[in-house]
């Protein structure tokens, strides 16, 4: 993917990626990790917005969906920019239905009978992302693909999307990110080695280094 290194450079330049070996981060899944990717920082920078939006458009275009969807809250802005570029309807998917008003899970309009591409800022284990896909399918849509800015490349993720009958795409992945960080000498080699070690066995890295995973 030709834009992967460009996106990796943006993630690093905008300090969306941080490494903390001594006090690892806790993911939503409960996994402990020495690396964290905060893509919410990217909307602050006009140049990053333009580049990432253009890359999203390039990936979305072949699917020609009826509707662009974004996961709440992190991908709402990306979905809006991409939908605007294609002059398409846009919706966003909540993590849970509202507890008041119309109690909707999907906001914007009906997607029943429509084809949809869902945009996501980051995929780790794929759990919350696939919940968004399922929500669209339950609403009567055919989800053609989910496309994320970044994925940690966990081996368990792709089979989950196959089971959900949904293609999975991304603009940048873990191996490209680490490659670019190494080329630019942005982190000490030993820290990058630890990040690679974690990525090979994310479920067991924390416990084996004295940082138990959190039950979710």
Residue numbers in the known binding site are 94-95, 98, 120-128
Residue numbers in the known binding site for 5-phospho-alpha-D-ribose 1-diphosphate are 94-95, 98, 120-128
pTM: 0.94
pLDDT of 97 strictly over 90: no
Sheet holding 142-151, edge to edge: 106-107, 90-93, 67-71, 115-123, 142-151, 167-173
What is the number of other CB atoms lying within 10 angstroms of the CB of residue 177?
Answer: 26
Find residue 106's DSSP bridge partners. Answer: 93
**Cα distances (angstroms) measured from residue 45 to each of 57, 72, 151, 189:** 18, 20, 21, 28
Mean pLDDT of 128-140: 97
Task: Determine if residue 18 is left, alpha or beta; phi over 0 gives left, psi from -120 to 50 gives alpha, anything else beta.
Answer: beta
Hey, what's the torsion of the CAs at 135, 139, 144, 149, to 10 degrees? -40
What is the number of other CB atoms lying within 10 angstroms of the CB of residue 97?
Answer: 12
pLDDT of 215 strictly over 90: no
pLDDT of 98 strictly over 80: no
Residue numbers in the known binding site for orotate are 124
Confidence band of 100 (pLDDT split at 50, 70, 90): low
Domains of the chain: 4-208 (3.40.50.2020)
Task: Give tens-digit pLDDT for 34-76.
Answer: 999 999 999 999 999 999 999 999 999 999 999 999 999 999 9
On average, the pLDDT of the chain sits at 95
């Amino acid at each position: 993917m030709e834009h992967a290194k460009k996106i990796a450079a943006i993630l690093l330049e905008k300090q969306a990626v941080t490494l903390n070996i001594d006090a690892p981060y806790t993911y939503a899944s409960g996994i402990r990790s020495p690396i964290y990717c905060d893509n919410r920082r990217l909307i602050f920078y006009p140049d990053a917005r333009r580049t990432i939006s253009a890359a999203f458009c390039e990936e979305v275009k072949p699917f020609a969906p009826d509707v662009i969807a974004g996961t709440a809250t992190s991908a709402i802005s990306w979905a809006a920019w991409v939908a605007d570029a294609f002059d398409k309807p846009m919706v966003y998917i909540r993590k849970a239905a509202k507890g008041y008003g119309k109690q909707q899970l999907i906001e914007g309009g009906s997607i029943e009978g429509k084809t949809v591409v869902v945009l996501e800022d980051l995929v780790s284990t794929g759990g919350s992302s696939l919940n968004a896909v399922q929500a669209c399918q339950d609403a009567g849509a055919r989800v053609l693909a989910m496309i994320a800015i970044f994925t940690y490349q966990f081996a368990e993720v792709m089979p989950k999307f196959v089971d959900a009958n949904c293609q999975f795409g991304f603009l940048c992945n873990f191996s490209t990110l680490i490659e670019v960080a190494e080329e630019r000498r942005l982190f000490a080699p030993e820290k990058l080695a630890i990040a690679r070690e974690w990525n090979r066995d994310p479920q067991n890295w924390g416990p084996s280094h004295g940082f138990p995973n959190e039950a979710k």
